[in-house]
Amino acid sequence: MTATASRTVRPPHRRGAFRMLGVFVRTYPGRSTVALVSVFVASLFEGLGMSMLLSMLSLASGPSSSPPSKPQQVALDVVAHLGIAPTALNLLFIAIVLIALRGAMSLFANRQVGYTVAHIATDLRLTLIRAMMGARWSHYLQQSVGGLSNAVATEAQRASEAFQLGAEMAATVLSSIVYLTVAFSISWEAGIAATVAGAVLLLTMRALIRTSRHAGEHQTQLQKSLLTLMSAQFAAAKPLKAMAREDHVDALLADQTRQLERALRQQVVSKEALTAMQEPMLAIMVGAGFYLALNMLHIPMSDTIVMLFMLARVVSYLSKGQKAYQQVVMRESAYWSMVQAIDEAHQQREPQGGDRSVQFERELRFDAVSYAHGEARSILREQSLAIPARGLTLVIGPSGAGKTTLLDLVVGLRQPDAGRITVDDVPLPELNLRDWRRQIGYVPQESVMVDESVAHNLTLGESIPDDQVREALRAANALEFVESMPEGLATRVGEGGSRLSGGQRQRLAIARALIHQPRLLILDEATSNLDPEAQEAIVDTVSQLKNHMSILAVAHQERLVRVADRVYRLADGAVESVTVAQGRVATAG
């Protein structure tokens, strides 16, 4: 399945390793069925091949007075049907062919399982990303970048690997059933012995399985916590180094890392203990079975050897299955962690608004709008203002007054507690939210750049003609410096735009916002971190753009005041219209 047609892996109401595997099988029924059928056929080939080998051994040991066992009879019937003489050499050849076919079917099954593992990881990642991007802005703000990165990079992979391990477990169980069937057909004593031995093995190791599950849960929690902490600390690396506080980061990360190490050690101990205990138990069972068969049950030596062989194979396959199950339970916590994150995001799905569309041509208006961050602080208290479809509207005010929150209300990332916001007299909740946002260009205070070309940072990977890209650069007064770069639009900007000055990064951010020819350009503190010369360049750009579109800008400084057509001051929950006198603002009265 391609990334563009991913499936949502939906969980059951209760958790558990088998329930997780059941979700995977229901989500990918075709591939799962093919894989399981292939495993089953491979097991049958193996059982029939072993029957051929047993028949060959019987013939090679000379004539026997006892009738052939059921597996031997099946083998003889097969060669008779094929018209082949039942000689030891022919039976050996057929056994080799069947065992080779078993390997080919196993390879085919493993390929199907491998493809499904890749699809599960991809679909889990895409489901989480789309759920987060479709969630309310308030929910998104509560998430940590480190936790989401861990889910996409690590938890999705661990969860998908559980399907592969589950397929291995199914293969070993089917092989065990085949060998148990052969054992019962040869001797009911051999069948019972193999069944009892397998049951004892599984029951004895249950405690180690529980330990593995707890270790896996602890690992999932610690990895999420560690990456969350790392992303927060590394984001503040520059001031920490400047103040010689690196030891603070080391102390925090070292403690989390040591806890993760202990969890991984616990997993290793559980895994190796399972292996270490299984081998001695198998030897004890074989020895005890050999003694009981010869001395107490008086079973002939030839039958005893066959019985012990079947016992060893059944116990060996069950051991492999138990190891696979142990690895499944170590990984299930990663799946349920992703499911929880996806469910929470789906529950906080952002409303898509109504079905009306407008082309922003007259004005955007706040009518008696109130908004508060919980009960702690009011940002707006029944305030009204208008933003015309042409010109520059500037919102100023002290830090923390709520200017960015006002922008969030315009974009629809937040909804007012009272009052209404209209676009050309149409209430914002009645608009198709996506259509409205496609008319907006947004320039944040911190311009996010990746270490790709200028063109990639402007188009964000979309297929946009170079002429349209250059037009956006020209409108942002950025074309001249871009064309002076060594490779023009193909020049890499460095991680975070490190090869550019602050003013260049901001002008590229404006060009990126203009590339879809928006009707409303929003500038969120676009000049706050720039030097005076760079600020003047941005002001010149804005003064040219305001004649062609509506610009809504917020700022701490008053540098944009002299080119603004309308200025509002936001403070203490109130919005006041202010007048401009010689580039400075004064309350209108």
Calpha distance 110→500 (Å, rounded): 49
Strand pairing partners for 323? Answer: none
Least confident of 271-275, 350-354, 552-556: 271-275
pLDDT at 408: 92
Return the structure tokens found at 257.
Answer: 């890392």
Structure tokens at 439: 């008319």
pLDDT value for 552: 94
Architecture of domain 363-587: 3-Layer(aba) Sandwich (3.40)
What is the helix (H) or strand (E) element at residue 379, kind and residue range? strand 377-388
pLDDT category of residue 166 using cuts at 50, 70 and 90: confident
pLDDT of residue 583: 54
CB-based contact 223:149 (threshold 8 Å): no
What band does 5 get if pLDDT is binned at 50, 70 and 90?
Answer: very low
Per-residue confidence band for 431, with pLDDT thresholds at 50, 70 and 90: very high
- Cβ atoms 116, 166 nearer than 8 A: no
Rounded to an integer, what distance in angstroms lies between the CA atom of residue 176 and that of residue 188? 16
Please check whether residue 215 is in contact with residue 266, taking contact to mean a CB–CB distance below 8 angstroms: yes
Using the predicted structure, report yes or no on whether residue 53 has a pLDDT greater than 80. no
Q: What mean pLDDT, rounded, does the chain reach?
A: 79
Residue-wise over 517-554: b if at least 16 C-beta within 10 A, else e? ebbbbbbbbbbbebeeebbebbbebbeebbeebbbbbb
Closest-CA residue to 385 (of 570, 559, 520): 570
Task: Report whether 497 contacts 441 (CB < 8 A).
Answer: no
Report d(CA 176, CA 28) in Å as an integer.
Answer: 25
Report the chain's C-alpha Rg in angstroms.
35
Give the pLDDT score at 436: 93
- CB contact set of 352 (below 8 Å; sequence gap of 6+): 432, 433, 434
| Residue whose C-alpha is closest to residue 132's, from 144, 119, 117 | 144
Per-position DSSP letters for 229-243, written without gaps between them: HHHHHHHTHHHHHHT
Would you state the pLDDT for residue 550?
A: 93
> Is the overall model pTM greater than 0.85, yes or no?
no
Q: Where in the chain is the domain with CATH 3.40.50.300?
A: 363-587
Q: Is the pLDDT of residue 150 over 60?
A: yes
CATH code for residues 3-347: 1.20.1560.10
Predicted local confidence at residue 64, as pLDDT = 55
Q: pLDDT tens for residues 286-321?
A: 677 666 666 766 666 656 666 667 677 777 777 788
Distance (Å, whole) CA 80 – CA 113: 37
Q: Dump pLDDT digits (tens) for 463-497.
A: 888 899 999 999 888 888 888 888 888 888 887 78
Sheet of 377-388, strand order: 377-388, 363-373, 418-423, 426-427
- What is the share, in percent, of the chain residues with pLDDT greater than 90? 17
Interval 216-230: pLDDT, tens: 666 677 666 766 666
Q: Where in the chain is the domain with CATH 1.20.1560.10?
A: 3-347
User: Mean pLDDT lowest for which of 103-117, 256-270, 325-339?
Assistant: 256-270
Q: Give the per-residue pLDDT at 11.
A: 47
Residue 190 confidence (pLDDT) above 50: yes
How far, in Å, CA of 360 to CA of 23, rounded? 46
Judge whether residue 424 has pLDDT over 90: yes
pLDDT > 50? residue 154: yes
